[in-house]
Amino acid sequence: MQTLRIGMIGCGTVGTGVLDILHRQRAQFEALGFDLQLKGVLVRDASKPRETCFPNAPLVTEKDFLNEVDVVIEVMGGVQRPLDLVLPALQAGKVVITANKAMLAERWTELKPFAKTGQLYYEAAVMAGTPVIDPLSGILRSSQPIALQAILNGTCNYILTQMEKGKDYQQALKEAQDLGYAEADPTLDVGGFDAAHKLTVLARLAFDPDFPYADVSVRGIDTIPQDAVRKALDNDQRIRLIGSIYAEGGQWKAKVAPRLLPMDHPIARAASGRNAMVFFGDECGEIFVAGGGAGGAVTASGVVGDLINYLQGILGPKPIALKAGTPSDPFEDLPEV
């Protein structure tokens, strides 16, 4: 039995979910030949109670324990602070598993060298536990990309679904906040920035390994006219916040914006709070993936799934080696609201 020393950064909703799965799946890890030892969980306040079934989880406020671990799991969120914690670990040859789309999107220059070596795992950074990173970095690489369309923010999907039921925007937003889908300051979600972070991560896997976050055009659902949702339904359409990657003028473009979808579009059928992605490839055709894209449990499952991949000898997802060529025929994107 090989000892695997794990250190975790952050212990909010996702972090406690990770701890629960690690405890419940201990026998599975042992079957793989590993005895998991949790060396520490870095938190701001170690006295704050956390509801987890993991026995005696070592909550600490100092980062020194990270020097003694083999794998670092980062579920803190944010950009610069988590980067300052995981970068030394990567430089020391350790494995890092993260669900942090903002850090990946905005600090790619520092992280890319380690993504190229397979040290960095980040399936849960986009669509949580629904697998989209693995297909885009694996089997779909053999197909010439044409475009990608995706619902990448479950909070916006929930709000728009409630508006379709007759609720106004503010009422639907408050409901999302009360349910824990949206933060007290919902700007990252409703402004489209969370979706833009995730879209940037996807772009680097199948379209352009160096696609810059700053080049994503962003418009959120907070710009939609109040009556637009009802008018769309009257015309057998739905409004959804869509992240799109497409070719224009021989260059790959990325945009997040509210779009009008026909009712028979696969993304239009995604249920409230769920995420969905359609990848269009020359050889593979249309590939559709949908599932839970938000919430502590589903995100935690993606994080632990990355850990299992590592233990089975599977390297982390690597960015596409070269920028993909753009198709000669323009792709007709969905109309904006």
Residue with tokens 């850990």: 307
Q: Which position among 94, 198, 253, 255 bears the catalytic label?
A: 198
Q: How far is CA 337 from CA 74, 76, 196, 227, in A?
A: 37, 34, 18, 11
Half-sphere exposure of 147 (CA within 13 A, CB side): 16
Determine contact, residues 229/164, Cβ cutoff 8 Å: yes
Torsions phi, psi for 4 (to 5 deg)? -120, 115
List of residues 6+ apart from 59 with CB closer than 8 A = 11, 40, 41, 43, 46, 50
- Catalytic status, residue 253: no
Tokens describing residue 215 = 């080049």
> Is 12 assigned to a binding site?
yes
Q: Give the whole-angstrom CA distance, residue 281 versus residue 141.
A: 9
**Is 14 part of any known ligand binding site?**
yes
Is 101 annotated as contributing to ligand binding? yes
CA angle 139, 141, 144 (to 5 degrees): 125
Q: CB within 8 A of 139, min separation 6: which ones?
A: none
Name the token pair of 185: 């300051």
Does the annotation flag 11 for ligand binding? Answer: yes
Question: Which of left, alpha, beta for 127 (phi over 0: left; psi -120 to 50: alpha)?
Answer: left
Q: Which residues are catalytic?
A: 198
User: Which residues are part of a known binding site?
Assistant: 10-15, 101, 183
Binding site, annotated residues for L-homoserine: 183
Binding-site residue positions for NADPH: 101
